[in-house]
Amino acid sequence: MLGGGSNSTPWTRIARNMNLRIFLIFVNSNLIGKMRKTKIIVSSRSGFCFGVQRALNIAKGALKKGKTVYSLGPIIHNPQVVRDFSKKGLKVISDIRKVNSKGVAVLIPSHGISPDVLRKKRIACIDTTCPLVGRVQKIVQDFKRKGYFVIIAGDRKHPEVKGLVGMAGKNSHVVKNKKQARALGLKSKKVALISQTTASISNFKDVLSEIAKKDFTELVSFNTVCKDTIQRQKEASSIAKRVDTMFVIGGKNSANTSRLAKACKKVNDNTYHIESGENLKMDYLRNKKTIGIATGASTPPRAINEIIKRIRRFDANGGK
């Protein structure tokens, strides 16, 4: 018998410790054997896209110079990142006329702005417009110069599209979808069709097929959906098909995240668009063996880690 107390010999103490260790090993292996581990598949196209990362680097550089830095609208469409930057001193404004022009820097966000905005006040700006958006702006200006009626497939309320309309001028029109494209009357027989960079590629094709039915003499179509958007959409949909639940993480005000969520919802009804771990309800995980994660182009990578941690905590609690 392995007794305790002051009478125990060194051997009994060693034996007691060994027994204790054996017991602990037994308990641990038992727990591991029963532990639930949800399979998580994260899209390789996650976190910031190159254009967003570039804009944030420029903003950081401007803030370091110690001037008052303003951003014309949110620098990117992600509330967490905008909050982080506001703590560092970045002020978001909606109207450039409100800026006192001395000793300040004004950032043009990654999705660009309309030239009209800058005409309202002559002020030096730091342009963080993504080069791919800049390319579309140039295409639009070129078509305008050549007298084309420019059709933009996208969301007229989105800042990028507002900027493109500002560049295309009056001889242009925005259509959101196939239905609006069908209803559109052409203002000119020479037509150019382009797309918002973060639009859905299938929607763009639908719009094109409707425009192609109209009475034109010339139709030029440019698929200007950016490569990152296309690849994100493809990979997220492919993952969504294979998992029990799909999380699409990103700002509710982010056009590309919302579109990604929509594309995933089409193939997996258990798709949830969440902004951060705080929106993750345990009900979404209950009885689910595989979880997929994709993010919009303006979602910080830390948002993915936050979700994974919550899933693992749920696993450690035995799925409760």
* 307: its two tokens: 């979700």
Under the criterion CB under 6 A, does residue 165 sit at the interface with ligand SF4?
A: no
Q: Name residues contacting ligand SF4, limited to 216-255 (CB under 6 A).
A: 226, 228-229
10-69: which residues touch ligand SF4 (CB under 6 A)? 49-52
Contact 158, 166 (CB under 8 A): no
Question: How far is it, in rounded angstroms, from Cα 297 to Cα 132?
Answer: 13
Other beta carbons within 10 Å of 160: 25
The answer to whether 298 and 304 are in contact (CB under 8 A) is no
Considering the complex, state which of residue 28 and residue 44 has its C-beta at the smaller distance from ligand SF4.
44
Q: Does 128 bind ligand SF4 (CB under 6 A)?
A: no
Indicate whether 75 belongs to the interface with ligand SF4 (CB under 6 A): no
Pick between residue 51 and residue 74 the one whose CB is nearest to ligand SF4: 51
Contacts of 59 (CB under 8 A, 6+ apart): 69, 71, 75, 85, 90, 107, 128
The token duo for 116 is: 């009209």
| Pick 137 or 197: Cβ nearer ligand SF4 | 197
**Does the annotation count 235 as an active-site position?**
no
Rounded Cα gap, residues 297 and 53, in angstroms: 9
Residue number, 160 or 275, with CB nearest to ligand SF4: 160
In angstroms, give the least distance from the CB of 255 to ligand SF4.
Answer: 9
Number of residues this chain uses to bind ligand SF4 (CB under 6 A): 15
Catalytic residues: 160
Q: Given the rule CB under 6 A, which residues bind ligand SF4?
A: 49-52, 110, 130, 132-133, 197-198, 226, 228-229, 256, 297
